Amino acid sequence: MSDNRAIGVFDSGLGGLTVVRELFNTVPNEDIIYFGDTGRVPYGTRSVETIKKYASQDERFLLNQNVKLIIAACGTVSSVAADTAYELPVPFFEVVSHAAKAAVKATKNGKIAVIGTNATVKSRQHEKVILSLMPDAKVFNQSCTLFVPLVEEGWYSADDIVVLETVSRYLKPVFEFGADTLILGCTHYPILSEAIEKVLGDSVTLINAGVATAEAVKQYLNEQGMENIRNKESEHSFYVSDKPDSFVKQASILLGREVDGNKVQKVDINNL
Protein backbone atom coordinates (compact mmCIF):
# COMPACT_ATOMS: atom_id res chain seq x y z
CA MET A 1 0.00 0.00 0.00
CA SER A 2 1.36 3.45 -0.87
CA ASP A 3 0.32 6.97 -1.84
CA ASN A 4 2.45 8.66 -4.48
CA ARG A 5 0.82 12.06 -4.18
CA ALA A 6 3.01 14.95 -3.02
CA ILE A 7 3.28 16.47 0.45
CA GLY A 8 2.05 20.08 0.52
CA VAL A 9 3.95 22.65 2.58
CA PHE A 10 3.20 26.36 3.01
CA ASP A 11 4.68 29.35 4.81
CA SER A 12 4.67 33.12 4.55
CA GLY A 13 7.99 33.16 2.71
CA LEU A 14 11.38 31.45 2.97
CA GLY A 15 11.14 30.13 6.51
CA GLY A 16 9.17 27.03 5.64
CA LEU A 17 12.11 25.84 3.59
CA THR A 18 13.77 24.86 6.89
CA VAL A 19 10.98 22.29 7.26
CA VAL A 20 11.33 21.20 3.63
CA ARG A 21 15.05 20.64 4.16
CA GLU A 22 14.30 18.30 7.05
CA LEU A 23 11.71 16.49 4.93
CA PHE A 24 14.36 15.96 2.26
CA ASN A 25 16.51 14.24 4.89
CA THR A 26 13.75 12.32 6.67
CA VAL A 27 11.41 11.23 3.86
CA PRO A 28 13.63 11.45 0.77
CA ASN A 29 11.25 9.47 -1.46
CA GLU A 30 8.44 11.99 -1.09
CA ASP A 31 7.53 14.62 -3.68
CA ILE A 32 7.02 18.06 -2.15
CA ILE A 33 4.98 21.02 -3.33
CA TYR A 34 5.94 24.21 -1.50
CA PHE A 35 4.05 27.49 -1.46
CA GLY A 36 5.81 30.57 -0.07
CA ASP A 37 3.50 33.56 0.32
CA THR A 38 6.34 35.96 -0.42
CA GLY A 39 4.00 38.73 -1.51
CA ARG A 40 2.40 38.97 1.94
CA VAL A 41 5.30 38.12 4.27
CA PRO A 42 5.40 38.45 7.27
CA TYR A 43 2.25 36.95 8.79
CA GLY A 44 3.32 37.53 12.38
CA THR A 45 2.41 41.22 12.48
CA ARG A 46 -1.10 40.70 11.04
CA SER A 47 -4.42 40.36 12.85
CA VAL A 48 -5.68 36.87 13.69
CA GLU A 49 -8.50 37.29 11.17
CA THR A 50 -6.06 38.14 8.38
CA ILE A 51 -3.74 35.26 9.27
CA LYS A 52 -6.66 32.82 9.14
CA LYS A 53 -7.73 34.21 5.76
CA TYR A 54 -4.21 33.79 4.37
CA ALA A 55 -3.87 30.27 5.82
CA SER A 56 -7.18 29.18 4.27
CA GLN A 57 -6.09 30.48 0.87
CA ASP A 58 -2.73 28.72 1.16
CA GLU A 59 -4.40 25.44 2.13
CA ARG A 60 -6.88 25.72 -0.75
CA PHE A 61 -4.05 26.26 -3.21
CA LEU A 62 -2.26 23.11 -2.04
CA LEU A 63 -5.47 21.08 -2.15
CA ASN A 64 -5.81 22.12 -5.78
CA GLN A 65 -2.41 20.46 -6.35
CA ASN A 66 -3.84 17.13 -5.13
CA VAL A 67 -1.51 16.76 -2.14
CA LYS A 68 -1.91 13.89 0.33
CA LEU A 69 -1.23 15.96 3.45
CA ILE A 70 -0.55 19.58 4.33
CA ILE A 71 2.10 21.02 6.63
CA ALA A 72 1.74 24.56 7.95
CA ALA A 73 5.48 25.26 8.09
CA CYS A 74 4.73 28.53 9.85
CA GLY A 75 4.82 29.12 13.58
CA THR A 76 2.30 31.94 13.31
CA VAL A 77 -0.31 29.89 11.45
CA SER A 78 0.31 26.93 13.74
CA SER A 79 -0.22 29.13 16.79
CA VAL A 80 -3.32 31.11 15.86
CA ALA A 81 -4.87 29.63 12.71
CA ALA A 82 -4.61 25.84 12.97
CA ASP A 83 -8.39 25.67 13.22
CA THR A 84 -8.59 26.56 9.51
CA ALA A 85 -7.52 22.96 8.89
CA TYR A 86 -10.33 21.28 10.86
CA GLU A 87 -12.38 20.49 7.77
CA LEU A 88 -9.56 19.73 5.36
CA PRO A 89 -10.01 16.44 3.47
CA VAL A 90 -6.34 15.53 4.05
CA PRO A 91 -4.19 15.17 7.21
CA PHE A 92 -2.77 18.43 8.60
CA PHE A 93 0.47 18.98 10.51
CA GLU A 94 1.45 22.10 12.42
CA VAL A 95 4.85 22.86 13.94
CA VAL A 96 3.99 24.10 17.45
CA SER A 97 3.05 20.88 19.25
CA HIS A 98 6.01 18.94 17.85
CA ALA A 99 8.46 21.67 18.89
CA ALA A 100 6.95 21.86 22.38
CA LYS A 101 7.22 18.10 22.87
CA ALA A 102 10.85 18.15 21.75
CA ALA A 103 11.61 20.99 24.20
CA VAL A 104 10.08 19.13 27.14
CA LYS A 105 12.17 16.10 26.25
CA ALA A 106 15.36 18.17 25.98
CA THR A 107 15.20 20.45 29.03
CA LYS A 108 17.13 19.58 32.17
CA ASN A 109 16.34 22.56 34.39
CA GLY A 110 12.70 22.98 33.34
CA LYS A 111 13.28 26.49 32.00
CA ILE A 112 12.17 26.75 28.38
CA ALA A 113 12.20 29.92 26.29
CA VAL A 114 10.12 30.48 23.17
CA ILE A 115 10.95 33.06 20.53
CA GLY A 116 8.57 33.89 17.72
CA THR A 117 6.56 36.51 15.89
CA ASN A 118 4.22 38.86 17.75
CA ALA A 119 1.21 36.68 16.91
CA THR A 120 2.91 33.46 17.99
CA VAL A 121 4.12 34.88 21.31
CA LYS A 122 0.76 36.51 22.06
CA SER A 123 -1.03 33.18 21.52
CA ARG A 124 1.21 31.44 24.10
CA GLN A 125 0.39 28.21 22.28
CA HIS A 126 3.83 26.68 22.85
CA GLU A 127 3.52 27.43 26.55
CA LYS A 128 0.10 25.74 26.74
CA VAL A 129 1.44 22.54 25.21
CA ILE A 130 4.60 22.60 27.35
CA LEU A 131 2.65 23.03 30.60
CA SER A 132 0.23 20.27 29.63
CA LEU A 133 3.23 17.94 29.39
CA MET A 134 5.36 19.42 32.18
CA PRO A 135 3.21 21.40 34.66
CA ASP A 136 6.24 22.51 36.70
CA ALA A 137 8.06 23.99 33.70
CA LYS A 138 8.93 27.68 33.60
CA VAL A 139 8.31 29.25 30.20
CA PHE A 140 9.57 32.59 28.93
CA ASN A 141 8.18 34.08 25.70
CA GLN A 142 10.04 36.62 23.59
CA SER A 143 8.88 38.29 20.39
CA CYS A 144 11.65 38.84 17.81
CA THR A 145 9.95 41.02 15.23
CA LEU A 146 13.00 41.79 13.09
CA PHE A 147 14.19 38.21 12.62
CA VAL A 148 11.88 37.44 9.68
CA PRO A 149 12.79 40.59 7.71
CA LEU A 150 16.48 39.83 8.30
CA VAL A 151 16.14 36.34 6.87
CA GLU A 152 13.99 37.43 3.94
CA GLU A 153 16.64 40.05 3.15
CA GLY A 154 19.31 37.36 3.15
CA TRP A 155 21.00 38.67 6.30
CA TYR A 156 21.67 35.69 8.55
CA SER A 157 25.44 35.22 8.69
CA ALA A 158 26.84 34.79 12.20
CA ASP A 159 29.71 37.05 11.12
CA ASP A 160 27.42 39.95 10.24
CA ILE A 161 27.60 42.63 12.93
CA VAL A 162 24.04 43.78 12.19
CA VAL A 163 22.70 40.25 12.60
CA LEU A 164 24.65 39.63 15.81
CA GLU A 165 23.59 42.94 17.36
CA THR A 166 19.94 42.31 16.53
CA VAL A 167 20.04 38.76 17.90
CA SER A 168 21.86 39.93 21.04
CA ARG A 169 19.27 42.59 21.82
CA TYR A 170 16.33 40.23 21.45
CA LEU A 171 17.90 37.34 23.32
CA LYS A 172 19.29 39.21 26.31
CA PRO A 173 16.10 38.50 28.37
CA VAL A 174 16.29 34.84 27.37
CA PHE A 175 19.86 34.63 28.68
CA GLU A 176 18.86 36.38 31.91
CA PHE A 177 15.92 33.98 32.35
CA GLY A 178 18.37 31.08 32.44
CA ALA A 179 16.66 28.83 29.93
CA ASP A 180 18.56 25.71 28.94
CA THR A 181 16.23 25.09 25.99
CA LEU A 182 15.08 27.54 23.32
CA ILE A 183 12.26 26.86 20.89
CA LEU A 184 12.77 28.58 17.56
CA GLY A 185 9.07 29.37 17.30
CA CYS A 186 9.16 30.62 13.73
CA THR A 187 10.41 28.49 10.86
CA HIS A 188 12.52 31.40 9.65
CA TYR A 189 14.55 31.31 12.86
CA PRO A 190 16.63 28.13 12.29
CA ILE A 191 18.32 30.08 9.51
CA LEU A 192 19.72 32.30 12.27
CA SER A 193 20.85 29.31 14.37
CA GLU A 194 24.57 30.01 14.08
CA ALA A 195 24.12 33.61 15.21
CA ILE A 196 21.82 32.54 18.05
CA GLU A 197 24.31 29.91 19.22
CA LYS A 198 27.10 32.47 19.06
CA VAL A 199 25.12 34.77 21.36
CA LEU A 200 23.73 32.20 23.82
CA GLY A 201 26.60 29.69 23.86
CA ASP A 202 26.43 25.91 23.76
CA SER A 203 24.67 25.53 27.11
CA VAL A 204 21.30 26.24 25.48
CA THR A 205 19.68 23.58 23.29
CA LEU A 206 17.92 24.97 20.22
CA ILE A 207 14.70 23.27 19.15
CA ASN A 208 14.13 23.28 15.40
CA ALA A 209 10.45 22.58 14.77
CA GLY A 210 11.26 21.32 11.28
CA VAL A 211 13.19 18.34 12.63
CA ALA A 212 10.42 17.30 15.02
CA THR A 213 7.68 17.83 12.43
CA ALA A 214 9.48 15.86 9.72
CA GLU A 215 9.87 12.93 12.11
CA ALA A 216 6.16 13.07 12.96
CA VAL A 217 5.26 13.08 9.25
CA LYS A 218 7.53 10.09 8.60
CA GLN A 219 5.91 8.13 11.42
CA TYR A 220 2.40 8.99 10.22
CA LEU A 221 3.08 8.01 6.61
CA ASN A 222 4.54 4.71 7.76
CA GLU A 223 1.66 3.90 10.10
CA GLN A 224 -0.99 4.79 7.53
CA GLY A 225 0.70 3.07 4.60
CA MET A 226 0.90 6.41 2.75
CA GLU A 227 4.59 6.38 1.88
CA ASN A 228 5.70 7.07 -1.68
CA ILE A 229 7.20 3.83 -2.94
CA ARG A 230 9.14 4.50 -6.11
CA ASN A 231 12.23 3.70 -8.08
CA LYS A 232 12.72 7.15 -9.56
CA GLU A 233 14.09 10.33 -7.98
CA SER A 234 11.63 12.49 -6.04
CA GLU A 235 10.31 15.65 -7.68
CA HIS A 236 9.70 19.01 -6.02
CA SER A 237 7.78 22.09 -7.12
CA PHE A 238 7.86 25.59 -5.68
CA TYR A 239 5.25 28.35 -5.90
CA VAL A 240 5.43 31.95 -4.66
CA SER A 241 3.06 34.91 -4.62
CA ASP A 242 5.72 37.44 -5.64
CA LYS A 243 8.54 37.43 -8.20
CA PRO A 244 10.44 34.12 -8.20
CA ASP A 245 13.96 35.46 -8.91
CA SER A 246 15.06 36.33 -5.38
CA PHE A 247 13.34 33.24 -4.00
CA VAL A 248 15.35 30.91 -6.26
CA LYS A 249 18.68 32.28 -5.06
CA GLN A 250 17.89 32.16 -1.34
CA ALA A 251 16.05 28.83 -1.57
CA SER A 252 19.10 27.13 -3.06
CA ILE A 253 21.20 28.34 -0.13
CA LEU A 254 18.68 27.36 2.54
CA LEU A 255 17.92 23.94 1.09
CA GLY A 256 21.55 23.08 0.45
CA ARG A 257 20.75 22.08 -3.11
CA GLU A 258 20.14 23.84 -6.39
CA VAL A 259 16.56 24.96 -7.06
CA ASP A 260 15.58 24.89 -10.72
CA GLY A 261 14.18 28.33 -11.57
CA ASN A 262 11.87 26.69 -14.10
CA LYS A 263 10.17 24.87 -11.24
CA VAL A 264 9.36 28.06 -9.33
CA GLN A 265 6.10 29.61 -10.44
CA LYS A 266 4.26 32.73 -9.38
CA VAL A 267 0.58 32.38 -8.49
CA ASP A 268 -2.11 34.94 -7.67
CA ILE A 269 -3.14 33.62 -4.30
CA ASN A 270 -5.87 36.24 -3.87
CA ASN A 271 -7.87 34.81 -6.75
CA LEU A 272 -8.05 31.28 -5.36
Would you name the residues annotated as active-site residues?
74, 186
Start-to-end C-alpha separation, the chain: 33
Is 204 in a helix, a strand, or coil?
A: coil
Q: Which residue stretches of 113-228 are H helix?
A: 118-123, 125-133, 147-152, 161-177, 193-200, 209-224
- What would you measure as the largest C-alpha separation in the chain, in angstroms? 52
Closest CA relative to residue 238, chosen from 257, 222, 211, 216: 257
What stretch of H or E contains 101?
Answer: helix 96-106
Residue 228, Cβ neighbours under 10 Å: how many?
Answer: 18
* β-strand partners of 32: 7, 236
CB neighbour list of residue 202: distance below 8 Å, 6 or more residues apart: none
Strand pairing report for 236-240 and 138-143: unpaired
